[in-house]
Amino acid sequence: MSSKRAYHHGDLRAALIAASFDLLAECGLQRFSVAAVARRLQVSSAAPYRHFADRGHLLAAVSTVAARDLNAAILTAADTAGPDPADRLAAAAGAYVRYVTRTGAGLPVIYAAELSRIHDEARRDQTRALMDTMLDLAGATGTRSYQDTVLLVEATIAVAHGYAALLSEGFFARQVDDIANRAAEAARALTVPLSP
């Protein structure tokens, strides 16, 4: 997504979503506002409300796109990683770091608490598909139970999100691909069985 895109009359809804990604990448969820998105597009502060009832509804639309695109990025990375289940899950962590660094729309945006009150079928379907992908990747590593699969997903997400957050906060003085690879290596280590 890029704020350099020109807003074309008649496509304001799509432009608002694209500009929202840019704003999230620059300032995060806490400083995100509909007014800031409108300013970025150089439209009136009332214009976004013709398409979205409030901040939450705009974020719900962003969440839908983010879940869909992140899921696609994870599936592509997993397929590129080859047939080994642990490598495929590890690749998901690297894909997460790359996606969040580029868009600012990680899981805190996709599953923002304020969105729980908004009924949106498309968002529900996309967020469910994202978690199904992660559960499938984790389960394929040979976890012993559904609970172990969920715990592995949680740990993988925590590793990936931690690396992405530290990168965005300037902790790492490295390139995105280096940090994404580190996240993948750390996630890969989660699948190594512990000694009895």
User: Domains in the chain, start-ordered, CATH in brackets?
Assistant: 1-52 (1.10.10.60), 54-189 (1.10.357.10)
Is residue 22 a contact partner of residue 3, using CB atoms and an 8 Å limit? yes
The sign of the torsion formed by the CA atoms of 6, 115, 29, 46 equals positive
CA–CA dist 171, 144 (Å, integer):
36
- Say yes or no to pLDDT of 179 above 90: yes
38-75 residue pLDDT tens: 998 999 888 888 888 888 899 999 999 999 999 999 99
CA–CA dist 35, 137 (Å, integer):
39
- SS3 percent helix, strand, coil of the chain, rounded to 5, is 70, 0, 30
pLDDT mean over 111-131: 92
- Say yes or no to pLDDT of 3 above 80: no
pTM for this model (two decimals): 0.86
The sign of the torsion formed by the CA atoms of 135, 60, 34, 43 equals positive
- Say yes or no to pLDDT of 195 above 80: no
